Every structure is written in structure tokens, then in C-alpha cells.
Amino acid sequence: MSYAAKNIDVKDRLIFALDVPTRAQALEWMDRLGDAVSFYKIGMELLTSGEYFQVLQDLADRGKKIFVDLKFFDVPATVASAVKGLTRYPVYFCTIHGNDGMMRAAAEVKGNIRVLAVTALTSLDQHDLDDLGFQCDPQQLVLSRAKAALAAGCDGVVSSGLEVAALRREVDHALITVCPGIRPVGNSDDQKRTLDVAEAFAAGADYIVVGRPIRQAPDPRAAALAMQATIAQALAAAG
């Protein structure tokens, strides 16, 4: 698998979704997880606390990698301004929606940030895409947006693990694949297009994003460590 050839520290491949409403809770999670997690995603829930950039700095001070997941969507000039503003901070990944103009504008000003294009949210299934007017299935939409993202100068995509194998077959292997919605078997929440940890890496994922399965575990740190062990085993099996 191509993902094994990328120079990514094994412990960085698990990204914890720090979906909490306050800085105090974010700091509690950093303390609780300790060295079990080295990469954190901070999204819109924390943004409305007014403490977003304090948490970003807290993560940086602890030596954590940071994924700013705000899914910018606006006219290209505005998206470019937002991404350029983020270059003032120690951000590793940021997300924008997969529109050609927005992707090109963001790529031109991204600096050292890796820009990820959102393809199709993992909470959407075929029925949802039909309602939105897309005349294709989720896999076709993801492939189309992934190819456009690379052509526009973006670094990768956020996609369901269900589409990663097709991405590896049909898109340049330089593409970074970040897969949210990773769930244990028997998932019953709002994520509809999911895989488990081992399946995602067997398919070719570079990173996975995990939130509730860690946050809701009886022992969150142990759950994160178990996922780290599963990732290491999946990578070793892939050779």
C-alpha cells in the first residue's frame, strides 16, 4: 500500500477529535490522554467558546500536531484570507470544501500548512447526496473532488474510509488521505459511511480521526493506546 511509504510517525496516524465546548475540558482531555495521542483535531464546537486559539497554543506548547477543522467555505478570496491567517499559527492540517476556486486560492497561500479538501461528509449517504442534487454515488464524488484537489495544489482530502481503496487505485499516491468516522462494528450514531481502524489502514488511509469511540470509552487512554497498537499491526501487515 502506498500509505506505508509516506514518512509519517506511526503515533501521528491517530488524530483525536477534540470536540469539546471549552478550553477547560480540552485541557482535561490532553491530561487524560497524555502520550497516547500526539495529534489533535479542533473544530467548530470549540470555536464558539472564544478560546479556540488558546487551545491551539496549548496543544503546540505540549508538542502536539494540530488539525484545524473549520471546513472553510466562501468566495475564494475570503477562503484564501482565512488560510493565510492560519499560517501565523503552528497548524499542520486545515480543511476547506472541495470547490475548484476555493482550493486553488487556498493552495496559493498555504505556506507550511497541508490543505485538505472535504470530499463528502461521512454523515451523508446516497439518499442525502440525491437530496443535495448530486448526480453520482459517494465514491464518484470523492474521486472527482480528490483529483481536482491535487490539480489545484491541495495536499490531500478528508474522505470516508470506504472510498480510500478507490482513491489509491485512481489518484496519484502523493494524495494524503484523512479518514473520519472510524467506528467499531455496530455503529449507531450519525456517521453513516464508516470502517473500523484496521480496515481503514488496510484500505490505504494515511490518518484516521477518532472522537466518540475514545471519549465515550470507560478508559479513554486505554482505548487510544489500543487503537495505536491496531494501527501499528495494520501497517506491519501491509509491509
The sign of the dihedral angle between the CA atoms of 178, 183, 185, 191 is negative
Annotated binding-site ranges for substrate: 19, 41, 69-78, 122, 183, 191, 211-212
Collapsing DSSP to helix, strand or coil, 17 comes out as strand
The DSSP secondary structure of 158-207, one letter per residue, reads E--GGGHHHHHHHS-TT-EEEE-----TT--SS--S---HHHHHHHT-SE
Distance CA 192, CA 145 (A): 20
User: Is 181:159 a contact under the CB 8 Å cutoff?
Assistant: no
Q: Which three cell numbers stand for residue 50?
A: 472564544
65 catalytic per annotation: no
User: Is 216:24 a contact under the CB 8 Å cutoff?
Assistant: no
User: Is 76:121 a contact under the CB 8 Å cutoff?
Assistant: no
Scan for cell 473544530, then name that residue. 43
Catalytic residue among 11, 71, 84, 147: 71
Distance CA 66, CA 68 (A): 6
Annotated binding-site ranges: 19, 41, 69-78, 122, 183, 191, 211-212
What radius of gyration, in Å, describes the C-alpha atoms of the chain?
Answer: 17
Q: Which three cell numbers stand for residue 36?
A: 497516547
Q: Which positions are catalytic?
A: 71
